[in-house]
Amino acid sequence: MVKTLEDLAKIRDKTREALAARKGDLTTKIVVGMGTCGIAAGAREVMSAILDELGKRNLTGIAVTQTGCVGLCDKEPLVEVSKPGQPRVTYGLVTSERARRIVAQHVVNDQIVGEWVIGTQG
């Protein structure tokens, strides 16, 4: 199907509806490391997988953002998940497959994927 800018109106309405339905929710934050080290290690594929998975599950209102190099270059790609009222969890050596599981298990079901965690805070 050919995509045109007019499609954005549909996305806007759909997203607004979804956001209105979960009014009052505090936002979950997902941060992907996108310094030179992160990008060379596959941060783009990881970020694409996260957004793609969120899209498939119709999860809207989650803030996905990026950060530069945090000095843990050998553990890139890094993904940090913080859910309201829970500790901030950093995952290391994330692949696109792992990223999808982090979305399903941690973001959706509140189960931290212990085996890939390299640090928690808070």
Partner 1 sequence: MKEISLHIMDIVQNSVEAGATKVSIGVDVDSGRDLLTITVSDNGRGMDSEMTRRVTDPFVTSRTTRRVGLGLSLLKDTARQTGGRLEVLSAEGEGTRVIATLGLSHIDRPPLGDIASTLACLIAANKSIDIDYHHACDGREFSVRTEELRSRLSGVSLADPLVFCFVREYAEQGISQLCSTTPSLLV
- What residues line the site for partner 1 (CB under 8 A)? 2-5, 7-9, 11-12, 14-16, 32, 34-37, 39-40, 44-45, 47-48, 51-52, 54-55, 59-66, 68-71, 73
Q: By C-beta, is 71 or 114 nearer to partner 1?
A: 71
Q: What is the 3-state secondary structure (H, E, C) of 58-79?
A: CCCCCEEEEECCCCCHHHCCCE
Q: By C-beta, is 26 or 114 nearer to partner 1?
A: 26
66 contacts: CB under 8 Å, gap ≥ 6: 31, 32, 33, 34, 43, 47
- Rounded CA-CA distance 7/74 in Å is 41
111: its two tokens? 């189960």
Rounded to a whole number of angstroms, the minimum distance from the CB of residue 78 to partner 1 is 12
Rounded to a whole number of angstroms, the minimum distance from the CB of residue 68 to partner 1 is 6
Rounded to a whole number of angstroms, the minimum distance from the CB of residue 114 to partner 1 is 26
Q: By C-beta, is 115 or 121 nearer to partner 1?
A: 121
Count CB neighbours of 46 within 10 A: 27
